[in-house]
Structure 1
Amino acid sequence: MPVKVSVVVPVYNPGPYIEDCIASVLRQSLPRDEYEVIFVDDGSSDETPARLDAVAAEHPHVHVIHQEPSGWSGKPRNVGIAASKGEFVMFVDNDDFLGDEALERMYNYGVENEADLIIGKMAGKGRPVPVELFRRNHPRATVENAPLMDSLTPHKMLRRSFLDRIGLRFPEGRRRLEDHVFVAEAYLRASNISVLSDYVCYYHIKRDDASNAGFQRFDPVGYFANLREALDVVERYTEPGPKRDRMFRRWLRSEMGERLRSKRFLKLPDDYRRELFDEIHKVIAERMGPSVFALLEPAHRVVTELAAAGRYDDVLALAEWEAAIAPSTSARSVTWDGDALKIEFSAEYAVDGTPKTYPADTSGAEPDGPAADVADAIARLERGTAARFGKANVDLMMRERETHAQFFQPVEITRETLPVEGEPDRVRLVVKATATVDPATAAGGVPLPAGLWDAFVRLTIGGWTREHRLFPVSKDPLPALPVPGVVGGRRVLPYWTVKNNFALDVDQAGKRLGFGEFKPADFTVAGDRLRAVLPFHVTGDVKAAIRLTGPKPAAEVLEVPATLSPAEGGHAVLDAPLPVRSLQQGGWRLALCLVADAAEPRFFTLPLVVRNSPEGLKVAKPAGKKPAAAAAAPKSRPGVARRLARKLPLPVRRALVRALGKGKKPARQEGK
């Protein structure tokens, strides 16, 4: 078969962090004769070269190229391109990994849309990744109709013939932003770009020792010299005008303005902070015109205009003022609405925990040029933010705790301008929202996979866009949570973590479902029917099952179908036939499976037995002591086990969870 995709991985001393990468490229859903993996070892001095050679010896579609150290990732990637045989080339870093179906999905999507470049949805664990870019699929994306400039890393799939036709390769040598130069040109010269957003294809991972190249402090002079090369590429392939300004805005906002703001700027050493400012000032003064500044939100515009004027002290003072501002969110209610959860919450910005206020009067034209002083800068920022409140937005995202895969949920919002008591010229800007989380579609149109899912609020007002965990107002009691749901073929448990953050446990919880609290009086036996009202939300009949384990020594096991049906009060009625003729006298241990047609049905043992006696069937407490096996079981040490588990590669951890029956407690026991 022709090779569809060549995966190119530059490698330099990754140590154990390469194991997740290796595992992910080996378990791709694309047939092995349709893709190849090329590891380019850039002079590693650890045990990685031998490890890669061993992998290649076992897998014919894996190849390893060893070379002298080049100092950066550009040359290894170029060597990988030269050696590739695939129709497309996919770039992966040695400390990241791919989703299991990434290559197959991205390749098919690219072929379907005749794309030269395909960007797959990203997730970041300890690392920022684009968010707005992946709100939906973009089959034909451009820098004008999609936020492509949010993603300038090379972790994309490109058509090999496109790279050869335009002669596109990475700048080589020890340098920064080689990926910006490469990707910017690819964006401008590709015949079509497709963005795949309904499946997480690429996982960015921050190492525990934070030794990823992107986290190292850089030399400002060299860094911004390299940034100018990316600006040169844009000027080479665009005319002056909106398209160029839109692309330049990304670097002005993210690589310059954001570095001068708030705690990010304040935490730098004084001498380094001044050197960084001086280089940013030079680039802004040289390359950024008024038409680019006009595209910025107030917070970015005010600080970059001060930087363009060389006013270091004012930028520092503005950063100190801004450092106290943070998002504040509060959950108001969580309820079931059919098969979906409705979550009502509000969000605004606060200063040291007190709601931030803004000028009530926003009339008049915006002044030109930099602010006169810090007070004027703050006044302009607040006024501009209030004037743009009609564009404020809030999102709710569900993020899986292990991989950090995240998905937007549908949200309806209202924007409220609230008066401030005692300050008639000031107002609060509050966004109220109702989010819908349907477990059957919440993962980009497909069901949420099993796992622990944390709720994050993303609040955008003016130039502030921040993410925050969803939690109730600390001074108020926790809003009541609904009962667990059996919806979409999944067990869904809404819960508050120990830090009062909202989360969903999908098909993980055991004890916290409350089965250990049932009493004999909760169940009735009428004839050969077992019935009970259970604290679970269902919207229609759900196929369940019960398991009866007979007395020892035979301990015969019987399983019978059961049904969960909606009941008054938002609970469910369990109804199951009892195989009366098959039940010998004695106590039969009772276990319940909530979703009988699941891929891996799970039974929960109840602290009850169905006792068959001459007087008939009844539900009772089991007699005697706990089974010897349970009594002899060693005490668990979850803290030690958890620390040891974290040292294992992610695929190994997942396999262990599956093998152990996915029985861990939700985050309240995990300190999240």
Structure 2
Amino acid sequence: MGVKVSVVMPVSNPGLTNEAFGACVRSVLEQSLPQEEYEVVFADDGSTDGTRRRLDAIAGHRRNVRVLHLDHTGSAARGRNVGVSVARGEYVYLLNQYDRLEPWALERMYAMAVDADADVLVGRLADGGPPQAAFAENRDRADIVRDHLLGVATPHQLYSREFLEAHQLRFADRPLSEAAFVTKAYLAAKVVAVLGDEICCHLGPAEEEWPDGEALFDGLSAVFDVVEAYTEPGGQRDRVLAHWYRVLGLRRLGGARFLAASPEDRAVLFSFLRRLTLDRFPEDLDVHLPVHLRARAALLRQDRPETLVGLAQASHGTRVSAELRDVRWDQGVLALDLGVEVLAGDGSPLWLTAEGDRLLWNPPAPMSLPRESADVTDAVARSRIDVYVRETETGVMYALPVTTTVDRAVVGGQVRVWATGRARLDASTAALGRPLPSGLWEIHVRMRGVHPGRTRLARPGVPTNCAGALSDAPRRLVVPCWSERGEFGVCVEPRSFSESVALVSSQATVAHQEGHVFVVVPVPYVPPSGGPAAELVLREEEGRGRTMVVPALIEPGVPGRVAGQLVARVPVSRIGGEECLGPGSWRPGLRVDQKDVDLLFGLVVGRGGQARVMPAGARPAPSRLRRLAVRVLGDRRSARAARVVRARRRV
């Protein structure tokens, strides 16, 4: 039987001890396909770090591994091209040196490609960003526009070698060559299939291309040439051109990097993008752009670079704000009620102008925009919320089902628009129909509509339900929790009782009674047998660095409805002492079975003996004594002076 798949990987000084490179190599050597049915072609770009010897050693005892020793060019394009030219497989898969394949990836992709008779098969990728819409389901016949293939612009795909040779698909040694290669492959292929129900490849870090104005013009022109050569005039061509014009061109005319560039560099970029716009992107295609990019295109045509910079400055900081309004369990599924809105750079709501039954965008900088270009009525109607869970260690993300409602308020002739949504997280099915792996999962929110954007889900200012519940098949504890920065997440199967309490401890409260303070920490889940024996450990952050340990009582709640409580009765006084808390900052921890876990809050005791909870990492306002010392002595000496005064007072 011949070689089914050739994996082509350009390599350039990855470092012998680099863990990501080692994981990449192991992933291609440990595929489920038999060794005689696939090969690995390493195209080494003149590495000088010992990589050549390492790869030669692997090839020495693996008959399906070949190493190409190339002269150094500094470009992955030549390595890919040479590797493809010598590949013997029926299909070719392109990989970078820090990527990682799942063990079954080649076998599954090859089987589906053969069944679909595909020229190109796009296997699901994980890159730490939101899951691409292209991977919503498996597709034997995918459409480049309808199925959002342009969102997968990386060449990490399975290609028929016969198809590559028939169309002479190779990488040009210039900026944006990957976009040109992938676009040509999509448009030239008779069949593009998508394997979306399992992750095939985890992408490693990649530097974003940021060519100068002239190189950008040449690269984007080459992409446009490909589109025009492989499409007929009409809707598909217009949408593909608009996609690349937006992603590779217009988005470079805003944001921190554009504003930080020198006036000369901005002028060059403006000049070349203006030329491209006038030559290749007629105004009637603006309908396929979001409204803030239509404004940039209009300023390019009007030759107004100063206004474009002003627009970028006024728009900088425009963002999506997502608020968690409620958390509750509904028959074993975690329901999240959200409010999501686009905010201007100054934090104010984004207001639209009402004209009859139409809504018009108000540019944040003075400029004239035709009414049809400013019309965002349809974009508002299509607004929706996307919610994802992201594993903190691997960056793998999965989409959650969400229902979205668009709301609006009218004040005079101005309209404020926001979206409310309800996401549902079923830990037993959230990973593409399979259980979420154990670990900590962040919650990310993306808003689609007038001004797309993405953000983390912030905790509301009021206490929120943090009761844990057991998921179905397998039975594991799932805990809604918050990071030290107040960002919402979910932990599947905490490693210990102490960890489950620490995850929600930022919601701790205190109450005072007769010389004592009661510290109350939520407990997401108390086993039916009751919680373990526990102690609250309080460590003084300044002064003498004392440690105080007090017993804690664990009170059960109602699983999936009401969190339990850990209550510790701590003596407190104005002057402190060996057996009570005194003024100062205290760092709490939870001790179970002689093991301590830090909790995500601080405890501050004032001069009057009153205690309050502070967020983790926050520092209390300095006392009057310290403020005076800072003015007189400076910060370091003032800290020592304040400690001396406090020590003398205790004596």
TM range (shorter): 0.7 to 0.9
Indicate whether 1:45 and 2:45 are aligned. Answer: no
The residue identity in structure 1 corresponding to 2:233 is P
Q: Name 1:664's counterpart in structure 2.
A: none
CA RMSD of aligned residues (A): 3.5
Alpha-carbon contact 1:130-1:151 (below 8 Å) kept: no
Q: Name 2:190's counterpart in structure 1.
A: 191
The residue identity in structure 2 corresponding to 1:277 is F
* Cα 1:387/1:185, change in 2 over 3 Å: closer
What's the offset of the Cα at 1:250? Answer: 1.2
* Cα 1:388/1:82, change in 2 over 3 Å: closer
Q: Secondary structure at the match of 1:280?
A: helix
Structure 1 CA distance, aligned partners of 2:40 and 2:455?
38
Indicate whether 1:358 and 2:343 are aligned. Answer: no
What's the offset of the Cα at 1:318? Answer: 1.0
Indicate whether 1:157 and 2:151 are aligned. Answer: no
* Cα 1:506/1:104, change in 2 over 3 Å: farther
Q: Name 1:202's counterpart in structure 2.
A: 201
The residue identity in structure 1 corresponding to 2:115 is E
Q: 1:457-536 counterparts in 2 under 5 A?
A: 457-462=445-450, 464-473=451-460, 476-489=461-474, 490-510=476-496, 511-513=498-500, 536=525
What's the offset of the Cα at 1:235? Answer: 1.4
Alpha-carbon contact 2:468-2:477 (below 8 Å) kept: no
Q: Name 1:389's counterpart in structure 2.
A: 380
* Cα 1:514/1:254, change in 2 over 3 Å: closer
Q: Name 2:308's counterpart in structure 1.
A: 315
Alpha-carbon contact 2:3-2:89 (below 8 Å) kept: yes
- Give the paired residue count: 525
Alpha-carbon contact 1:122-1:129 (below 8 Å) kept: no
Structure 2 CA distance, aligned partners of 1:492 and 1:365?
43
Out of 402, 417, 420, the residue aligned to residue 408 of structure 2 is: 417
Structure 2 CA distance, aligned partners of 1:358 and 1:382?
14
Q: 1:107-126 counterparts in 2 under 5 A?
A: 107-125=110-128
Q: Secondary structure at the match of 2:9?
A: strand
**What CA deviation, in whole Å up to 9, does each residue of 1:132-160 have, x standing for no partner?**
32333333112232211222221111011
Does 1 or 2 have the higher relative contact order (CA < 8 Å, sep 6+)? 1
Q: Name 1:453's counterpart in structure 2.
A: 441
Q: Name 2:263's counterpart in structure 1.
A: 270
Alpha-carbon contact 1:485-1:536 (below 8 Å) kept: no
Unaligned runs of 5+ in 2: 503-522, 530-555, 562-592, 600-614, 619-651
Structure 2 CA distance, aligned partners of 1:101 and 1:329?
38
Out of 394, 399, 417, the residue aligned to residue 403 of structure 1 is: 394
The residue identity in structure 1 corresponding to 2:351 is T
Q: Secondary structure at the match of 2:434?
A: coil
Q: Name 1:166's counterpart in structure 2.
A: 167
Structure 1 CA distance, aligned partners of 2:139 and 2:526?
36
Q: Name 2:245's counterpart in structure 1.
A: 252
Q: Secondary structure at the match of 2:261?
A: coil
Indicate whether 1:240 and 2:233 are aligned. Answer: yes
302-311 or 247-256: bigger deviation:
302-311
Q: 1:5-84 counterparts in 2 under 5 A?
A: 5-15=5-15, 16=18, 17-84=20-87
353-362 or 493-502: bigger deviation:
353-362
* Cα 1:372/1:117, change in 2 over 3 Å: closer
Structure 2 CA distance, aligned partners of 1:443 and 1:130?
12
Structure 1 CA distance, aligned partners of 2:363 and 2:351?
22
What's the offset of the Cα at 1:117? Answer: 0.5
Alpha-carbon contact 2:353-2:359 (below 8 Å) kept: no
Structure 1 CA distance, aligned partners of 2:57 and 2:597?
37
Out of 214, 217, 228, the residue aligned to residue 221 of structure 1 is: 214
Q: Name 1:554's counterpart in structure 2.
A: none
Q: What is the aligned-residue identity percentage? A: 32
Q: Secondary structure at the match of 1:228?
A: helix
The residue identity in structure 1 corresponding to 2:85 is A
Structure 2 CA distance, aligned partners of 1:239 and 1:382?
25
**What CA deviation, in whole Å up to 9, does each residue of 1:523-577 have, x standing for no partner?**
xxxxxxxxxxx97599xxx9x9xxxxxxxxxxxxxxxxxxxxxx994469xxxxx
Structure 2 CA distance, aligned partners of 1:372 and 1:198?
41
Alpha-carbon contact 2:27-2:100 (below 8 Å) kept: yes
* Cα 1:385/1:669, change in 2 over 3 Å: same
* Cα 1:570/1:95, change in 2 over 3 Å: closer
What's the offset of the Cα at 1:204? Answer: 2.4
Q: Name 2:570's counterpart in structure 1.
A: none
The residue identity in structure 1 corresponding to 2:3 is V
The residue identity in structure 1 corresponding to 2:331 is G
35-44 or 221-230: bigger deviation:
221-230
Q: 1:322-333 counterparts in 2 under 5 A?
A: 322-333=315-326
Alpha-carbon contact 2:469-2:560 (below 8 Å) kept: no
Q: Name 1:91's counterpart in structure 2.
A: 94
Q: Name 1:179's counterpart in structure 2.
A: 178
The residue identity in structure 1 corresponding to 2:180 is V
**What CA deviation, in whole Å up to 9, does each residue of 1:381-424 have, x standing for no partner?**
995335531111111111111221111111111110123xxx42
* Cα 1:216/1:143, change in 2 over 3 Å: closer
What's the offset of the Cα at 1:273? Answer: 2.0
Q: Name 1:662's counterpart in structure 2.
A: none
Q: Name 2:145's counterpart in structure 1.
A: 144
Out of 276, 281, 289, the residue aligned to residue 288 of structure 1 is: 281
Structure 2 CA distance, aligned partners of 1:84 and 1:165?
15
Structure 1 CA distance, aligned partners of 2:372 and 2:327?
35
Structure 2 CA distance, aligned partners of 1:415 and 1:364?
15
* Cα 1:69/1:431, change in 2 over 3 Å: same
What's the offset of the Cα at 1:248? Answer: 0.5
Alpha-carbon contact 2:298-2:369 (below 8 Å) kept: no
Q: Secondary structure at the match of 2:405?
A: strand
Structure 1 CA distance, aligned partners of 2:142 and 2:276?
29
Structure 2 CA distance, aligned partners of 1:165 and 1:68?
28
Alpha-carbon contact 2:130-2:388 (below 8 Å) kept: no
